[in-house]
Amino acid sequence: MRADDAAAGPGGGRLSARPAVFKPSSVAKLQQINPVQHANNIDCPRRGDIDFDGFCPLPFMDRTGGSMSHRNRRLSLIGASVIAAVAAAQAGAQEAQLEEIVVTARQRAERIQDVPATVQAFTATEIAAAGIERPQDFIALTPGVAQVQTAEAGDMQVTIRGINTGRDAETNFALVVDGVLQTNPNALNQELANVSQIEILKGPQGALYGRNAVAGALIITTRKPGDEFEADLGAGYGDYGSYKLNAYLGGPIGGDYKGSVSAYTRKTDGEWKNDLLNCDDCVDFFEETGINARLMGPMGESGNFDIKAKYSKIDAGAINFNASLALKEVAGIPGLGLFQEDPNTHSFKYVNNVKPQNEQENVNLSFKGDWEVASGTLTAVAAFNDQTNYFLTDGTSAAFYLYSLTSACQKSNDARPGNPLPAPFGPYAPTNGFVTTFFPPYGPSLCDGYQYQQRDQKDTSLEVRLTSPGDQQLRWVAGTYFADIARRVVVSQGSDNGQGFLAQALVRTGGPNPTDLLYDDDFDSSVIAAFGQLAYDVRDDIELSVALRYDREKRDVSNNVPKLAPQTPGFFGVVSGAATFINPAYSTNAALAAIPGRSRTFSQLQPKFSLKWDAAENVSFFTSYGVGFRSGGFNSTGVRATIESTYAGLCTGTAPTLTFQGVAQNPASLPKCTGTNRSIRNVNDSYEKEVSKAFEAGFKATLLDGALATNFAVYSTKLENMQFFNFFAGPFGLLRVVTNAEEAKIKGYEFDARWRATDSITLFAGYAGTDSEIVRYDGRPYTAGNKVPYAPKFTGNAGVDFKTPIGSGDWTLNARVDASFVGETWFSTVQNNVVPNIFGLLAGYGQGDFSKQKRDSFHTVNARLGVSNGTLGITAWGRNVTDEDYLAEIIPAPEFGGSFIHDAPGKTWGVDFTYSFR
């Protein structure tokens, strides 16, 4: 972060006007490291490093890490050894220095090395050098953090120290953009336009940031308009028909007021092709356009305001999954080996007959005011956000049999006898005559129906806090927070009659795509919180910090589903042999005239204690203990009724030997139910709050006269009622459900090193090792001892950044290589387990063995090469240049007998152009 941006953050004021933002020892360190004083009282290592705003660029960033295995471990350890050996050989001979970073992780501006927690930061210089344009770019460069972005535009599952976001639950981290706490789980996955700094704060941060910060906080700071006119233009082109354009204009607009406006657009046809529709722009296509405006200025004699507005729109593909089966008993029959497939070797094929639709619109407004008062800085932040998001795609996941007897299905099969069914799907019919074809979930005919999902949110929030000056022995922050959140969630499925689609929750009989199953709920949340933090210098070299926050959230849900029968004639329904309705809550309680609403309140006290010891100049040790809290909530109404009625006959245990051909199958081929061995239990229409309790200890050191920075930390986290995402597929179609595991534990360690070897060369590497365990999960007791879902065994990165003057004039050659490593990952609590499934119950396909449903470890390499002269820049880039073949995600559906798997992008290339006016 530039020094002016840092000082105008939560701590308030400009560093040039209030150098006491740092405690005295920190100021002394800054003065020692930055010997050149700029006219605006901003210290820079070299006068030539002052950027176009007149402030210091800050390209330093922490790298945190852990352990690896096999080839990746050897490569990473070699890289770390090289850094350490060369650094030792050149100790005392360094002239190049890493530049200081100022962060606002504790809601005041501080040197990153003074924060008693693990923080990684990417400054504007680093963001440009690494080509960071979207969240997955900086996450790949942050050991201990991983992400999955597959289902739709707003869907991004972030894992920090083994704790995952989880679909349809709240986030596991606090997302703060320019001081505004974002409440929408889908707010992160957007273009990072005009971002000047990104901070990743690891470990529970509930004491300051409140609800949902069980794993950490992401703090994003965007570019502020300066005192001089600035204009930038950018353009880029890549393979798969990809292009991007962006523009920025900012500066003074009269008096002491400053403003900026920026716009961007990005489009790609996508890498994958639909073989049925013969189109290469109808699978993973993506287009996003946005515009931002900002106005800043004084309020009276002691105040300043910052007003922001943003609009963006996304049009993209969605649900680009294939199915991978885990039916081990069927796979044992000659010729049917793919019935238990290793998904890591899957050959992807897209043959769905429906082009996906995914549209998202965002409106974001915020106001931030800072006033200098006698006791410090008073800050008020108000925000309004409005997001609409829906997708409509082919397939109802596992409900394809429900449409196999409809006239539309039969006609489409007759018209397309050569429909390309991806293996192992095809005419493998069991002998009970239930079906004649084993249909895929996303196939070429009308036999798989369609799905529609909608997630809209409007929210308003207000935060008021008072921050003490930073030059006193006792420093403090105190504040209150309020939020009102209105969210609508729709999950529906229906018949594909080949007549097109209405993209809406309910399509009645006579419509082109009548609805057969509908979950439609309005969720309202009211949040109130109070928080405070004290930081006290016990001695010149010891700081004790105590923080505390109380959050209370009241949640209400109301249901919008009318009492209607399925709209497709011949639809089998959800509950066999009983009256059926489009929502299972009616099917299990026919007396209901309407589904009743529900209400719950969740609250939590969240303390944090930190201790930092400055053992020597630029060497510090720290330890902390903190509590984080993720609010409980509601699943779609009718979830419990659906699961209990459908899976009542699925139980774990030893089953009779399966016979497949020539002998009729029946439920006796599955384990017998005893009343205590249900394969899935405790699925409810609501879920409990999650609480994390974490201990951390580590050290930070800046050595070799400021040329080498190293960080190390160990942590241990206990999770109570861990929330995680479940995907259920069956005769009812699909369900996305949040459940709780009563207890889980995660421990790990992280290490990073960053060395500016010369003025031209900077080397960096980091590792993070994670060990997790599900201690108790009453919903699936047989999974105790398994790994926590979405928690990679390790993550890491290594790279080199090179810059050198070339030719005459101001031209610079810029080159960078980044390698990222991700270890083996499970995506469900069901891992090395055998689980009964609906195919075994209805069609005699036996049980599912999920021992292969784990993503293999992988690594990717990105490279950039360019030239620039401060005005014009040209950069060629490549992502995943080694064309590593790996999976983005595996979503096991144990009761379906397999998983839904998503491919990851392969090798891509492109070139970017930038032009700046000053």
Chain segment 154-188, per-residue pLDDT in tens: 889 999 999 998 888 888 999 999 999 998 888 88
Has residue 503 got a pLDDT over 50? Answer: yes
Residue-wise pLDDT for 103-123, tens only, equals 888 888 888 888 999 999 999
CB 752 within 8 A of CB 764: yes
Please tell me the distance from the alpha carbon of residue 295 to that of residue 602, in angstroms, as a whole number: 37
Please tell me the distance from the alpha carbon of residue 449 to that of residue 571, in angstroms, as a whole number: 11
More confident residue, 232 or 732: 232
The confidence score (pLDDT) of residue 668 equals 42
Has residue 130 got a pLDDT over 90? Answer: yes
Has residue 300 got a pLDDT over 70? Answer: yes
Distance of CA 916 to the CA centre of its chain: 32
Has residue 283 got a pLDDT over 90? Answer: yes
Instruction: Classify 886 as helix, strand or coil.
Output: coil
Instruction: Classify 31 as helix, strand or coil.
Output: helix
CA distances (Å), origin 404, targets 106, 133, 293, 325, 356? 58, 45, 52, 20, 22
For the chain, how are helix, strand and coil distributed in percent, rounded to 5?
10, 45, 40
More confident residue, 621 or 416: 621
Q: Work out the pLDDT band at 459, boundaries 50, 70, 90.
A: very high
CB 180 within 8 A of CB 169: no
Annotate 134-146 with DSSP letters as a single string: SHHHHHTTSTTEE
Residue-wise pLDDT for 637-651, tens only, equals 888 888 887 887 788
Has residue 92 got a pLDDT over 50? Answer: no
The confidence score (pLDDT) of residue 844 equals 67
Residue-wise pLDDT for 591-616, tens only, equals 899 999 999 999 999 999 999 999 99
Pick the range with the lowest mean pLDDT from 16-20, 410-414, 754-758, 849-853.
Answer: 16-20
Q: Work out the pLDDT band at 917, boundaries 50, 70, 90.
A: very high
Q: Are strands 216-222 and 173-177 parallel, antiparallel or unpaired?
A: parallel
Burial of 596 (0-12, 13-18, 19+ CB in 10 A): exposed
Pick the range with the lowest mean pLDDT from 111-115, 279-283, 382-386.
Answer: 111-115
The confidence score (pLDDT) of residue 402 equals 72
CB 744 within 8 A of CB 774: yes
Going along the chain from its start, the domains and CATH numbers come out as 3-459+499-554+573-878+891-917 (2.40.170.20)
Please tell me the distance from the alpha carbon of residue 765 to that of residue 501, in angstroms, as a whole number: 50
Please tell me the distance from the alpha carbon of residue 468 to that of residue 488, in angstroms, as a whole number: 40
The confidence score (pLDDT) of residue 641 equals 82
Q: Identify the H or E element spanning 238.
A: strand 230-238
CA distances (Å), origin 843, targets 604, 642, 651, 811? 48, 20, 16, 69
Instruction: Classify 180 as helix, strand or coil.
Output: strand
Please tell me the distance from the alpha carbon of residue 88 to that of residue 446, in angstroms, as a whole number: 67
Task: Tell me which residue of 621, 429, 611, 451 sits closest to 534, measured CA to CA.
Answer: 611
Please tell me the distance from the alpha carbon of residue 114 to that of residue 59, in angstroms, as a whole number: 17
Q: Work out the pLDDT band at 530, boundaries 50, 70, 90.
A: very high
Question: Looking at this protein, which amino acid is placed at residue 195?
Answer: V
Has residue 253 got a pLDDT over 60? Answer: yes
Has residue 389 got a pLDDT over 80? Answer: yes
Burial track 532-568 (b if 16+ CB lie within 10 A, e otherwise): bbebebeeeeebebbbbbbbebebebbbbbeebebbb
The confidence score (pLDDT) of residue 23 equals 39
The confidence score (pLDDT) of residue 214 equals 92
The confidence score (pLDDT) of residue 568 equals 80
Please state, rounded to an integer, the average pLDDT across all residues of the chain. Answer: 84
pLDDT, average across residues 562-571: 81
Tell me the range of 435-449, 537-551, 655-669, 677-691 where mean pLDDT is highest. 537-551
Determine what percent of the chain is predicted with pLDDT higher than 70. Answer: 83
Residue-wise pLDDT for 877-916, tens only, equals 999 999 999 999 999 999 888 999 999 999 999 999 999 9
Backbone phi and psi for residue 286, each to the nearest 5 degrees, phi listed first: -155, 135
Residue-wise pLDDT for 211-245, tens only, equals 889 999 999 999 999 999 999 999 999 999 999 99
DSSP type of residue 237: E
Question: Looking at this protein, which amino acid is placed at residue 190?
Answer: Q
The confidence score (pLDDT) of residue 357 equals 96
pLDDT, average across residues 52-73: 37
The confidence score (pLDDT) of residue 310 equals 97
CB 27 within 8 A of CB 19: yes
More confident residue, 84 or 523: 523
Burial of 884 (0-12, 13-18, 19+ CB in 10 A): middle
Determine what percent of the chain is predicted with pLDDT higher than 90. Answer: 62
Tell me the range of 106-115, 511-520, 708-717 where mean pLDDT is highest. 708-717
Please tell me the distance from the alpha carbon of residue 594 to that of residue 559, in angstroms, as a whole number: 8
Instruction: Classify 754 as helix, strand or coil.
Output: strand
Q: Count other Cβ atoms within 10 Å, centred on residue 407.
A: 11
